[in-house]
Structures are given as C-alpha cells and as structure tokens.
Amino acid sequence: MDSKKSILYVFLLATLITLALGQARIGFYQTSCPQVETIVQTAVQSAINSNPTIAPGLLRMFFHDCFVNGCDASILIDGASSEKTALPNSLLRGFEVIDAAKTQLETACPGVVSCADILALAARDSVVQTGGASWQVPLGRRDGLVSRASDAASLPGFNEPINALITKFSDKNLNIQDLVTLSGAHTIGTAACVLFSYRLYNYNNTNGPDPTIDPDFLPTLRNLCPNGGDGTRRVALDTGSVGNFDTSYYSNLRNGRGVLESDAALMNNPATKALVNRFLGIRGMAGLSFNVEFGRSMVRMGNIELKTGNQGEIRRVCTTTN
C-alpha cells in the first residue's frame, strides 16, 4: 500500500471510529465539503443583517433540538405532530435560514452535510454576529428519523424551579455550570409577555408580584405587559443590552431583573448563584470567562445523543414532512 493510500486508510478508519463512538469531530468535512462553514456563515450573516431577531431564534432552535432526542435536526421536520408543533417550539424562528444554507450546500456538495450540522454551525455564527466569541464546532452528526411533539416534554420550562432545571440538564449529561452558562444565551433573547406576566400581578395567588423582582424594575415590566394586555408582545430578557452577547444578563439576575422565572431561579440556589457571580467577577471568587465557557458548554450540548450509521440520515431537504 503506497503512502497516499495509507493516509486515506487512516483518515477513513479514524472517521469510522469517531462515528462508532457517537462523537462529532473538528474538520469532519475538510475534504468532502470544505466550503461548509463559509456557506453557513454567509447565510446566517445575511439573515441577521435583515432581521436581528434571527440570531436568538437560531440559538434557541439548536437548544430545543438538542434537548429532544439529541442534536439531530428533528426540530426542523414538518408534520401534524412533529416537534415543531409542540407548544414550547411554537415561536421558534429562523427555519428559512437553515433551508437557505442547505440549498447552497446541496449545490456545492450534494448529499454530504447534515441539517443537524448546519444548525450547530448556525447557532455558533449567531453568537459571533451579536458580538460573542467564536469556537470550533465538532461536526459529523446525522439527521434524525423521528420527530414527535410529545417528546418536547424534556425541554426545560420557563417557570420550572431550579431543582427541576438541574435535573433536566443532568438527564442530558450537562452539569450545573452548563445550566448557568447556557442560560446566558438569553443575553440576546426576548420572551412573550404570556410567559412571565403572571409574576407581575398575582404571583402564586398572593395578589402581588413575585417578591424576588426588583421593585424599581417592576413598573417597567408592568408597563410593557399590562394586566390582561397583549400576551404576544415580546420583551428583552437582558434589559438594557438586548442584541449584544455579553454578561449583562448575569448583572440583571444579580439585581433582581431576571424576566423569566427560570432565569431568576438561578439566584435561588447557592451553586448556581455562585456561578452567576463568577461570571461577573465578584471579588473573592474565581472568575469565569463567559465567552470561553459558553463555547465549551455549547460543544458539550452539541454532543447529546448523536445519531450514527442507520440511526440517522443525511437529509437532502432540511424542512421536510416525516
């Protein structure tokens, strides 16, 4: 066997071993589709330039995909009872961006790049487009064959207590630091009034607001979401810094300005509260770099329940009927 054949053999063997272990890897498309990252990045950049709300939409879409049967693009599948129809996914946005990138990739390297990998790259590029740091995205996922709305019950809820959130992350082999870090994605997100207005008026049937909300912040939220008002109105989850990927989200949590109950809950547990403070560089605590840790946690989340071999496929069209 000559040297070139030997190198190719080793490369293919390494690829097969990686897939057998159910792990993605850096440079997976280096020879089969070297343009993949550039094509996805261009599609994401164009979409966000036209509509900045696409950035948090794509990031949230990846999160919602990974927490339901793994990072397999099952969130993209259309159908009467697919994941996309589940209530927690009803307001997701950015599907057309994944389709646009896939169309271009099918021209450049047909049948090679999975929709799951496109979504993973798009989530990273959304962070970069809003001022966050980049990270290397391991690739090699295959697309899932199943998409059921009922499976969306595994998604962390906007009103769940901290112990429930910790358990749901642990079920996906993600730890408390991953929970606090990935919650930081809300630095560029918004939420509909219907998801948190119950905290403002009659919290737990007390005829008053959630006592953990900063009293000086309460009038702002009530003005945005009046009692009985438009529940679809969207409000920044990171007041004063919406659209900027930074640590302002954690400052707001520390100051009682978390909008969603699940965000505010991070201050209700000593371990999660300590991590919030470490991201803020509180004196006397070892600091953490949000950008660095976010990339690491995204890689860990991106490895949830990867599909290999006949467990998945390479879809030619990402948004399709199952």
Confidence check: pLDDT of 203 > 90: yes
Q: Which of 138, 155, 172 is the last residue of a domain?
A: 155
Binding residues for heme b, as ranges, are 186
**CA dist., res. 87 & res. 14, Å (int):** 41
158 in Cβ contact with 260 (< 8 Å): yes
> What stretches of 21-114 show up as alpha helix (H) in DSSP?
36-50, 54-66, 95-108
Assign 3-class secondary structure to 249-294. Answer: HHHHHHCCCCCCHHHHHHHCCHHHHHHHHHHCCCCCCCCCCHHHHH
Please tell me the predicted confidence (pLDDT) of residue 12.
44
Q: Are residues 253 and 286 in the same domain?
A: yes
Q: Which of 140, 155, 170 is the last residue of a domain?
A: 155
Q: Let me know if residue 14 belongs to a domain.
A: no
Q: Let me know if residue 318 belongs to a domain.
A: no
Confidence check: pLDDT of 199 > 80: yes
Q: Are residues 86 and 139 in the same domain?
A: yes
Q: Let me know if residue 200 belongs to a domain.
A: yes
Q: Are residues 170 and 294 in the same domain?
A: yes
Q: Let me know if residue 16 belongs to a domain.
A: no
Q: Which of 10-14, 37-41, 72-76 has the lowest mean pLDDT?
A: 10-14
Please tell me the predicted confidence (pLDDT) of residue 21.
40
Q: Are residues 79 and 32 in the same domain?
A: yes
Per the prediction, the chain carries an average pLDDT of 91
Question: Which CATH number do you get for residue 218?
Answer: 1.10.420.10
Q: Let me know if residue 211 belongs to a domain.
A: yes
The neighbour count for residue 253, using CB atoms within 10 Å, is 27
Return the SS3 of 220: helix
What band does 33 get if pLDDT is binned at 50, 70 and 90? very high
Binding residues for substrate, as ranges, are 156
Is the pTM above the cut of 0.85? Answer: yes
Mean pLDDT over residues 179-198, rounded?
A: 96
Is the four-CA dihedral 106, 109, 114, 119 of positive or negative sign? negative
Please tell me the predicted confidence (pLDDT) of residue 321.
57
Q: Phi/psi of residue 200, each to 5°?
A: -95, -20
- In the numeric block, which tokens belong to residue 212? 């953990």
Confidence check: pLDDT of 120 > 50: yes
Q: Are residues 88 and 216 in the same domain?
A: no
Q: Are residues 130 and 42 in the same domain?
A: yes
pLDDT tens per residue across span 86-109: 999 988 999 999 999 999 999 999
Per DSSP, the residues of 128-153 read HHTTPPP----B---B-S---GGGGG
Binding residues for Ca(2+), as ranges, are 65, 68, 70, 72, 74, 83, 187, 238, 246
The neighbour count for residue 134, using CB atoms within 10 Å, is 12
**CA dist., res. 261 & res. 145, Å (int):** 34
Count of domains observed in the chain: 2
Q: Are residues 211 and 144 in the same domain?
A: no
Q: Let me know if residue 6 belongs to a domain.
A: no
Q: What percent of the chain has pLDDT over 70?
A: 91
Domain limits for position 35:
24-155
Q: Would you name the residues annotated as active-site residues? A: 64
Q: Let me know if residue 70 belongs to a domain.
A: yes
**DSSP secondary-structure letter at 313?**
B
Q: Are residues 78 and 148 in the same domain?
A: yes
Mean pLDDT over residues 296-302, rounded?
A: 97
Question: Which CATH number do you get for residue 51?
Answer: 1.10.520.10
Q: Let me know if residue 223 belongs to a domain.
A: yes
Confidence check: pLDDT of 242 > 70: yes
Q: Which of 3-17, 32-46, 305-319 has the lowest mean pLDDT?
A: 3-17
Q: Are residues 184 and 262 in the same domain?
A: yes
Q: What percent of the chain has pLDDT over 90?
A: 84
Q: Are residues 131 and 33 in the same domain?
A: yes
Q: Are residues 135 and 58 in the same domain?
A: yes
Q: Are residues 80 and 171 in the same domain?
A: no
29 in Cβ contact with 113 (< 8 Å): yes
Q: Which of 129, 155, 181 is the last residue of a domain?
A: 155
- In the numeric block, which tokens belong to residue 302? 């991106």
